[in-house]
């Protein structure tokens, strides 16, 4: 098998490697802690481990693809997101379930996240000349999720579930508002001329490299951070009990 060397200045491959290892380590931690977790929170911690594990596997292959071709693994990245982002939304349903969250809320979050990702993929890969339109459509779905979490049904249920759940929901909501907002930056760098016609980086290759680095850092922070918030919630709930 041909070995592809990793150059010292290849920061894209380096962030792929760090992302792979960080999320795999997080997965091992979450999986091992499932049996040490109070029964009502085990599913939430398990889902956290699934999120980082799925991401770690995809990052392993994305790093190899990037090293072999020098291109951004956009397709594989969206496959990863289509699996992991809805699972991150599922976490909001799981932590508010004891306050009466219905299955309808779960489907609202899943459908909105999938719509956000599919339309984003259209704008970044298939209909690149219409990237502004697809970016706006994808953004509308994103802001719908933000509304549900900050002011809508999720926020109300979290407040009813108790102070620890309400606190965890606020932290997760900040991840969605601030952490997920990093992805549109990558979208801007990855579409022709940048979103809204702004040319942020004149060199296309440099733009793609910058996009990958932004995405890789954001993924590691958001996915691992999400899981750690859920883990902390399960432990604080045990302490109160």
H or E element that contains 219: helix 204-240
Residues 6+ apart with CB under 8 A from 1: none
Exposure pattern of 17-33 as b/e (b: 16+ CB <10 Å)? bebbebbbebbebbbeb
Residue-level pLDDT at 117? 94
Give the tens place of pLDDT for each residue, 25-69: 999 999 999 999 999 899 999 999 999 999 999 999 998 888 888
User: Both tokens of residue 33?
Assistant: 């802690």
- The pairs formed by 38-44 with CB atoms below 8 angstroms and a separation of 24 or more are 38/234, 38/237, 38/238, 38/241, 40/98, 40/237, 41/230, 41/233, 41/234, 41/237, 43/94, 44/91, 44/94, 44/95, 44/230, 44/233, 44/234
Q: Which residue has the higher pLDDT, 118 or 188?
A: 118
pLDDT band at 174 (very low <50, low <70, confident <90, very high): very high
Which residues, 6+ apart, have CB-to-CB distance to 47 below 8 Å? 87, 90, 91, 94, 230
pLDDT higher at 199 or 66 = 66
Q: pTM to 2 decimals?
A: 0.87
Average pLDDT (131-158) is 92
Note whether 218 and 175 are within 8 A (CB): no
Poorest-pLDDT segment among 57-71, 194-208, 221-235: 194-208
85-111 pLDDT per residue, tens: 999 999 999 999 888 889 999 999 999
* CB contact at 8 A, 43 and 33: no
Work out the average pLDDT over 179-200: 66
Structural domains of the chain in order of their starting residue, each with its CATH number: 11-236 (1.20.1070.10)
């Amino acid at each position: 098998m041909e070995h592809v060397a990793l150059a010292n200045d290849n920061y894209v491959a380096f962030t792929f490697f760090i992302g792979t290892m960080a999320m795999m380590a997080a997965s091992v931690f979450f999986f091992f802690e499932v049996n040490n977790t109070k029964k009502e929170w085990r599913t939430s911690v398990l889902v956290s481990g699934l999120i980082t594990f799925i991401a770690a596997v995809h990052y392993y292959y994305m790093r190899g693809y990037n090293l072999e071709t020098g291109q951004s693994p956009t397709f594989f990245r969206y496959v990863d997101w289509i699996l992991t982002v809805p699972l991150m939304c599922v976490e909001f349903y799981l932590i508010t379930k004891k306050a009466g969250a219905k299955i309808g809320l779960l489907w609202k979050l899943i459908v909105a996240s999938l719509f956000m990702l599919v339309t984003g993929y259209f704008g970044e890969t298939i209909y690149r000349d219409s990237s502004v339109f697809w970016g706006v459509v994808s953004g509308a779905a994103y802001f719908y999720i933000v509304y549900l979490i900050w002011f809508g049904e999720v926020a109300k249920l979290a407040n009813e579930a108790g102070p620890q759940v309400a606190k965890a929901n606020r932290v997760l909501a900040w991840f969605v508002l601030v952490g997920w907002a990093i992805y549109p930056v990558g979208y801007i760098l990855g579409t022709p001329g940048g979103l809204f016609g702004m040319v942020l980086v004149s060199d296309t290759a440099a733009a793609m490299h910058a996009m990958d680095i932004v995405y890789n850092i954001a993924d590691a922070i958001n996915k691992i951070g999400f899981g750690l918030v859920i883990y902390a919630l399960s432990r604080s709930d045990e302490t109160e009990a």
